[in-house]
Amino acid sequence: MSDLDSGLPPIAPLSTEPAVSLKGKGLPWPVYLALALAGVAVLAFLGLRSWKNREQRKVHVAFMEQFADYEKNEVNKFWRCLFGKDADPRRFADPEALSNQLEGALRLDPKQFPDKVATECVPLATSAAKRIKDFSPLPPAEYEAALDRYGKALAGLANAFSIWAEGAPKRAEAWLRENRIMAAGTAWSNTTDPRRPDPDALRYDRFLRCAVPDLERLKEGQALLEFLASKCVGKHTDQAYLDRLRDRCVPEGQEPPKKAPPTFARVLQKLVADYDREEQAWGACFRAMRKASKKEDLEGVGRAWVEALNASSEVRKIGKDLLKDD
């Protein structure tokens, strides 16, 4: 039977061509080689960068250790000279705290402390300012500008304390004079015979007549207290009056007059009952007077301290930032 007779479609003859693959061909081997080499190169680059970072960290760590030793052995030597072996410039909360510590040291030794500051301590700050350039090996370039500012700040610190030491003996002498006035006031308040007053009582009376122009017109101690409050307290501080006290009245009260004024007894009688409060009021005036007279020198010290502290912190911050983990 023929194909036509069967009614079936004709059978196609077998092809002699190779079968076509449905799967794509692989990349040529040179491509695989190139990719492998690129991967090795990336790993090598990353490894080299990591090694360089570790080496750079070592450099910064070494410098920061040097810097810490420099501050401990050079900069803090100046502060230990001022305030003892445990002194640390960072322990002061603000410039006023530093000023109080400095003035307290002056009160304890008014004769020797200013000379010590000028001849022993200031040269240490000057030396520290110069030796900031002596690091070996040289600091990394990132610290150069900050170290330069720190050196200048330390030189400014030395200058500020030098100026303070120059004016300190005058302030110490002023304290002694004020104390003599206060002691004379005690003697005045204890006067039992106004006809024969103690010389110290006469010194206080002399001081009063200079410091209170209308002294004899005052009716009682309360009037004196109100007068002093208007001159020495808070917003009412009268700088011209404080200058007069410092430059004229306190010096006048260091020596008694040759004899008692005719109105000595009358003034004593009107004011003596309120002497305790009057003594406190004069103390407030003297504090205001001292604050005004020492303001310029101590403000200079405070500014120099802040600048030196900020410059030190800047160097530390640079090191901290550079040593942060990537």
What pLDDT score was predicted for residue 48? Answer: 47
Residue 303 and residue 159 share a domain: yes
Count of domains forming the chain: 2
Residue 117 and residue 209 share a domain: no
Percent of the chain with pLDDT over 90: 67
Q: Which amino acid is at 70?
A: Y
Domain coverage including residue 71: 50-170+296-322
Cα 50 from chain centroid?
40
Percent of the chain with pLDDT over 70: 81
What pLDDT score was predicted for residue 33? Answer: 60
Q: How far apart are CA 129 and CA 146, in angstroms?
A: 13
Q: 26 pLDDT band (50/70/90 cuts)?
A: low
Q: Which residue has the higher pLDDT, 293 or 165?
A: 165
Residue 308 and residue 165 share a domain: yes
For the cut 70, the answer to whether the pLDDT of residue 18 exceeds it is: no
The answer as to whether 191 is a domain residue is: yes
Tokens for 272?
Answer: 């003596």
The answer to whether 238 touches 186, Cβ cutoff 8 Å, is: no
Q: 22 pLDDT band (50/70/90 cuts)?
A: very low
The answer as to whether 248 is a domain residue is: yes
Mean pLDDT of 248-269: 95
Q: Which amino acid is at 285?
A: C
Residue 305 and residue 255 share a domain: no
Residue 124 and residue 87 share a domain: yes
Residue 264 and residue 181 share a domain: yes
Q: Show Cβ contacts of residue 136 under 8 Å, excluding neighbours closer than 6 positions.
A: none
Q: How far apart are CA 277 and CA 149, in angstroms?
A: 51
For the cut 90, the answer to whether the pLDDT of residue 231 exceeds it is: yes
The answer as to whether 60 is a domain residue is: yes
What pLDDT score was predicted for residue 322? Answer: 86
Q: How far apart are CA 156 and CA 17, in angstroms?
A: 97
Residue 135 and residue 180 share a domain: no
The answer as to whether 111 is a domain residue is: yes
What pLDDT score was predicted for residue 12? Answer: 47
Please name the residue ranges forming H helices in 7-94.
Answer: 29-70, 76-83
For the cut 50, the answer to whether the pLDDT of residue 3 exceeds it is: no
The answer as to whether 10 is a domain residue is: no
Q: 165 pLDDT band (50/70/90 cuts)?
A: very high
The answer as to whether 80 is a domain residue is: yes
Q: Show Cβ contacts of residue 271 under 8 Å, excluding neighbours closer than 6 positions.
A: 218, 220, 221, 224, 278
Q: Which residue has the higher pLDDT, 115 or 59?
A: 115
The answer as to whether 39 is a domain residue is: no
